[in-house]
Amino acid sequence: VIADVADPHFDCHKLTLKLRERFPNTPVIAVGADDPSLLETAAEPAPFAGYLQKPFNLGSILEILDKLPRSDS
């Protein structure tokens, strides 16, 4: 799943946590224009499998996908 952290229609953190409850092995990659370190706080680390900083290209997506754990199923 790729989700935009700046989307005004939903909270990307909440979406990720809900997905993790129902589909724990589904990675969520966040997309945004800001520095990814801004997504994390000491109390709540970002729950994302990866982060794409805008603007991004296909190579950036493939780089993140290559780092994700592989599933045999």
Instruction: Concatenate the DSSP letters of all residues of 4-59 into one string.
Output: ETT-TTS-HHHHHHHHHHH-TT---EEEESS-GGGG--SSS----SEEEESS--HH
pLDDT tens-digit series, residues 23-58? 988 898 988 887 666 666 544 666 788 888 889 999
4-13 per-position pLDDT tens digit? 888 888 788 8
Model pTM score: 0.75
Q: What is the pLDDT averaged over residues 10-23?
A: 86
